Amino acid sequence: MARFDKMAVMQKIAAAPMVPVFYHQDAEVAKKVVKACYDGGVRAFEFTNRGDFAQEVFAELSKFVEVECPELALGIGSIVDAPTAAMYLQLGANFIVGPLFNPDIAVVCNRRCVTYCPGCLTPSEIGKAQEVGCDFTKVFPGDVVGPNLIKGLMAPMPWSKLMVTGGVSPDEANLTSWFKAGVFCVGMGSKLFPKEVIAAENWQAISDKCAEALGYIAKIRG
């Protein structure tokens, strides 16, 4: 079961508002990446449900994080149905992320006081998600919709907490465009840990990149 409830998870993301998004079929590689991000200041990490036996990798990762990254909220992404969400909650997921909004997932998560971040693009979708208790919503793909969509959504709904993923990179200009537009946090994938860095097992480079990106965000937010 989750080690952190939804309030604790939201506080962690608010304090360090960059959520790495990652999948690897090798649990040992996943552990190295998660630990590198943790050492770089990350406090919420999204492992994605994208490969065969991903739940087995997640189970190993969850046990590892409890010991080696005690303040990290490990979540699961790419969840589209309630049974899969329930399985990952049992394996220790601290938050659930999905590419779409499924209210059945919200019911399962709310029953365990776990936050659910569904994918939403329109004011109506975001509003429906908020009605069933979703603390923040995911806007994807960021590189297609752009920061202006965030500005447009936040203008009539300033209470909303939006996480943009897709096309987010760990450089100051890119991060500035998103946070100035009003995002609550960003999700970051391949640009945070390029394939060549993983292949070279350069874990320190990942830690350094995380610390650098979080530093930019702190500067932007003042």
Strand segments (E) across 40-104: 44-48, 73-77, 95-97
Is residue 213 classed exposed, middle or buried when 0-12, 13-18 and 19+ CB atoms within 10 A define those classes?
Answer: buried
pLDDT in tens, 5-35: 999 999 999 999 999 999 999 999 999 999 9
Domain residue ranges in the chain: 6-217
pLDDT in tens, 125-141: 999 999 999 999 999 99
DSSP 193: S
* pLDDT string in tens for the chain (222-residue length): 899 999 999 999 999 999 999 999 999 999 999 999 999 999 999 999 999 999 999 999 999 999 999 999 999 999 999 999 999 999 999 999 999 999 999 999 999 999 999 999 999 999 999 999 999 999 999 999 999 999 999 999 999 999 999 989 999 999 999 999 999 999 999 899 999 999 999 999 999 999 999 999 999 998
Residues with Cβ < 8 Å from 222, sequence gap 6 or more? none
CATH class label, 6-217: alpha beta
CA nearest 18: which of 92, 72, 68? 72
